[in-house]
Amino acid sequence: MKAIAQNEYGTTDVLTLTDLPEPEAGPGGVVVRIRAAAVDPGVWHLMEGTPYLVRLMGFGVRRPKARVRGLDFAGVVHAVGDEVTRFQPGDEVFGTCQGSFAEYALTTVDKIARKPERLGFDEAAVVPISAFTALQALRDRGRVAPRQKVLVIGAGGGVGTFAVQIAKAFGAEVDGVCGTGKVDLVRSLGANRVFDYTREDFGGGYDLILDTAGNRPLSSLRKALTPQGTLVLVGGESEGKWIGAVGRNVRALLLGPFVKQKLRGLFSTEDQDDLQALRALVEAGKLTPVIDRAYSLAEVPEAIRYVREGHARGKVVITV
């Protein structure tokens, strides 16, 4: 099979389109014929091995343990193991795996669900990782509730476009912060007010702020919260090679016990129940993926560079 592989950490120069053996299902595995895969900032970090904390989290200290990049996908079940009863060859599915930038990938039943009928393969592929993050940040860490005033910073990006819609689905009043070129997009997703960060600052009085951009100091974000509001920090970029944007999460954790506001970080997880919850939101018409650009498998390095620039409107997809 064709796959985008790497043997060492580095920039997109370490990625090559190569031939690899097709994976075998094993007793409890599911082999999927990949039809589309998504690109997110995490792909860059796993490719480069930075911040170095990533390597210590089990992804390989000297070189990546998994040669093929890519986490979320949509495709068709190609083969299943003897112990698998929930899926069979021909089923259209979406979910996560290790190595979706390939023609075939191995996953397990707890990481996939049937593809929403409302979505094509490209749209379904971009849902899992970014929408997991948005859902878990708002529902689990932020405790979003009806009629709350919610602000999503980075509302035009991969996580942000899902977060605006999910907050609306929970009955919140949602505002968004984004760049000039994404204002109309964020407004179309249901945001009540949209702030162009290049021209204006957002106000205050928010019950919940979800910051996906990662470049604002905690003091500024806390001023925009109500006295007992909640701040959830997700992602963001930093030049620090060792812990990167995690440093701001650590500062929030240390400050938290001394203030009434709730300051929380998030490391999202791949969860079967949440995948089903996202599928339900999609089928109910409350969650629609936004795709900026599509690239071929051979163009994965270019796609990763584009996402790395930080200007994508929503998600970037790889069509396999």
Measured N-to-C along each axis, helices 128-135 and 272-283 cross at an angle, to the nearest 10 degrees, of 100
Assess whether pLDDT exceeds 90 at residue 9: no
Interstrand relation of 225-233 and 262-265 (parallel, antiparallel or unpaired): parallel
Q: Assign 268 a pLDDT band (cuts: 50, 70, 90).
A: confident
Assess whether pLDDT exceeds 80 at residue 253: no
pLDDT tens-digit series, residues 272-292:
999 999 999 999 999 999 999
pLDDT value of position 231:
96
Give 112's contacts (C-beta < 8 A, 6+ positions apart): 30, 32, 87, 93, 94, 95, 96, 275
pLDDT value of position 210:
97
pLDDT value of position 215:
77
Assess whether pLDDT exceeds 50 at residue 242: no
The answer to whether the beta carbons of residues 300 and 318 sit under 8 Å apart is yes
pLDDT tens-digit series, residues 146-203:
999 999 999 999 999 999 999 999 999 999 999 999 999 999 999 999 999 999 999 8
Give CA 257 to chain center in angstroms: 29
On average, the pLDDT of the chain sits at 90
Assess whether pLDDT exceeds 60 at residue 91: yes
Q: Count other C-beta atoms under 10 Å from residue 9's C-beta.
A: 20
**In 3D, which of 253, 194, 193, 243 has the Cα closest to residue 218?**
253
CA distance 202 to 207: 14
pLDDT tens-digit series, residues 191-238:
999 999 999 999 899 999 999 987 788 889 999 999 999 999 986 555
CA distance 162 to 178: 14
pLDDT value of position 16:
94
**Residue 318: helix, strand or coil by DSSP?**
strand
CA distance 183 to 190: 11
pLDDT value of position 289:
98
- 135 token code pair: 């859902």
| Phi, psi dihedrals of residue 257, rounded to the nearest 5° | -65, -15
pLDDT value of position 316:
97
Of all residues in the chain, the percent with pLDDT exceeding 90 is 73
Region 78-90: mean pLDDT is 96
pLDDT tens-digit series, residues 125-134:
999 999 999 9
Region 46-74: mean pLDDT is 74
